[in-house]
Amino acid sequence: MTYVLIPGAGGSGAYWDLLVAELRRRGHDADAVDLPAADDTAALPEYAEVVRSAVGDRHGVTLVAQSLGAFTAPLVADDPRVSQVVLVNPMIPAPGETAGQWWEATGHAAARAAYAQAQGRDPHPDVDLMVDFFHDVAPDVTARALAGEAQPESAAVFTTPNPLRRWPDVPTRVVTGRDDRFFPAQFQRRLARERLDVDVDILPGGHLIALSQPRLLADQIESYQDRRGR
């Protein structure tokens, strides 16, 4: 199997390093894409072109997209070389919706607050990397991920009109972290049903599940090999 992996906010393909290593260990062709997130003029069409270049002349490609990467994946999935899409803790876009509009349109703030309150946490906190994202990631993996400067995200991705007009006719799976504090599992399930008419596959782990559970995530992604077209 061939996998091209699209990162979330910040655009660094290094996010996928553990999963790429695991997929390659199992004999798969896997590559992660670096998106031009540091370029404030780069928007979704530019992101999509980078991913198309990464697909290259390979066929039967599975696109795997994390979080914000779900805005880029459908713009490439109409390519006949792409056979399926796997979205991981995704921001599932509606046609024409910008990433900036997504938060209010989906009711994200209320869903995040309700989940925090149910867990006994402050329902209206500022975003905290350790609390919201790295709470289930091993300390050594966290240290490597946070080494160096934080990656920026292009402002154009959030404001430039999204060229998506309909979701491509390609099998699409959604993998949800059971313990995701930023995009709670029930929130993800609702969006997947409303926007893609699919259910989610739930794994233990938070928002950065490729860092906390790379083997389980590889198992789940591999399981779709025999389900393509279903």
Q: Quick one: pLDDT band at residue 151, thresholds 50, 70, 90?
A: confident
CATH number at residue 210: 3.40.50.1820
pLDDT tens digits for range 139-148:
999 999 998 7
Would the CA dihedral through 3, 182, 10, 154 be positive or negative?
positive
Domain count, the chain: 1
pTM of the full predicted structure? 0.95
Strands 61-66, 29-32: pairing kind? unpaired
pLDDT tens digits for range 92-136:
999 999 999 999 999 999 999 999 999 999 998 899 999 999 999
Q: Find the domain containing 201 and state its range.
A: 2-227
